Amino acid sequence: MRLPDIAAYSFNSLRKREIRAWLTIIGIVIGIAAVVSLLTIGGAFNKEVNSQLDKLGSNIIFVAPISAGSSPLGSSFQPSSGKLYQKDVERLKKIPEILDIARLLRGSASVQFRDKEITMQLQGVEPGVFEVITSFDIENGRFLLDTDRRVAVIGSKIANDTFGAENKVNVNNYLIINRLKYRVVGVLNESGGGITPAGSLDSMVLIPFEDAREIFSEKLAKDEIHALAMRIADGSDMQSVVDKIKLEMDASHRVKEDERDYTVQSPETLRERIGTVLGLVTAFLGVVASISLIVGALSIASSMFTSVAERTHEIGVLRAVGANADAIMKIFLFEAAAVGGIGGLMGALLGVGVVLLAGQFGVPSELDFPIAAFGVAFATIIGILSGYFPAKQASDISPVEALRYE
């Protein structure tokens, strides 16, 4: 039999077993959809994180009073073990490779605009240093100045969405922060969730460091700082600088290595930690998705074995009219491959749909057609492997015994 004849015969057989065929296909659809969507979203998320870390530059180091192993990037900076003080800054200034040190304060406060009042995060920054360390663009107005007091720079989300579509915040509007008026002097460009030492750019409310110290005075100890961000001279050995920082911080806090009440991290260590977490999550979800594929493969094999048993007489007729064992095997293999291929194609399309839907909810997503194509090919291969033994069984049936079978 020629391949077109085998294909036509196989598809005709599948149509006759429509319900069973579709039930088998659904198992493959679910598995491939899960694999395609998880791999695509996982890859896009990893790419987005690396992109945001790249914006920080390769010469930025963070210090925060949180447990070792935690990420200070975008965290609340609330102490989980110790605290940072101005004396730490003075010690770190002794390290020649450190060009700039930005002190940061962060905490929640009541922010009112017109008739809406919302509790949100404020970031107190040093105007002359923060913009040197952080990469951002001003859409309207300007950034904070060293001489500024009671002014604010806000992210695009705060300006356009936080207080409602009818209450957009513009330059020279006033925000009431803890019952004090702050004039908005600048609005940041939309960054798509860009990350900085103080958190997400789009959700920022930046105020001068000293204003933040006043707002959070009841929660702060004398000279306390929530976090430090440092710019290192180009060409410096990052690990060597990190070791020097730890040496100074250990001396300042009078702690040993296993007693550290702070963490020091560079973009590279952050990237490694985030990559490890993403890898574990992706691997776990991949295992879950693989279970669906295994179930689908077993479903194909079961369906094909049942089909062979039901069509034993049909096999005998085919052999009687000239089809050899090789042709019989190709017919059943093609049917199994078709079930896998159809399920794979539908699963890939469903997976792409999940990715597009996730993108509408702000989840990092970027269509990756090679992954979708891999899903279709992988499902087809699963179909062939699952159908091999049933096909071999069909080809080994004796023509005489097959014709006698009722």
Contact between 322 and 5 (Cβ < 8 Å):
no
Q: Return the beta strands (E) in 189-270 as ranges.
A: 195-196, 199-200, 205-208, 224-225, 227-232, 263-265
Contact between 155 and 175 (Cβ < 8 Å):
no
| Those residues with Cβ within 8 angstroms of residue 13's Cβ, 6 or more apart along the chain or in another chain | 307, 311, 331, 335
Q: 3-state class of 318 per DSSP?
A: helix
- Domain ranges within the chain, ordered by starting residue: 3-51+273-404, 66-261
Give the tokens for residue 42. 């996982």
Contact between 125 and 206 (Cβ < 8 Å):
yes
pLDDT at 283: 80
pLDDT at 192: 60
| C-alpha to C-alpha distances, 71 to 82, 135, 197, 286, 302, nearest whole angstrom | 15, 19, 10, 25, 49
pLDDT at 314: 76
| Those residues with Cβ within 8 angstroms of residue 271's Cβ, 6 or more apart along the chain or in another chain | 49, 50, 53
Burial of 41 (0-12, 13-18, 19+ CB in 10 A): buried
pLDDT at 180: 92
Q: Running along the chain, 406 residues long, what does each successive block of 10 average in pLDDT?
A: 71 72 81 84 77 69 75 50 86 92 90 91 86 81 92 92 87 93 93 56 88 91 90 88 93 87 81 76 76 79 79 76 80 85 91 87 78 87 86 77 62
Give dist(CA 372, CA 345) in Å, integer: 8
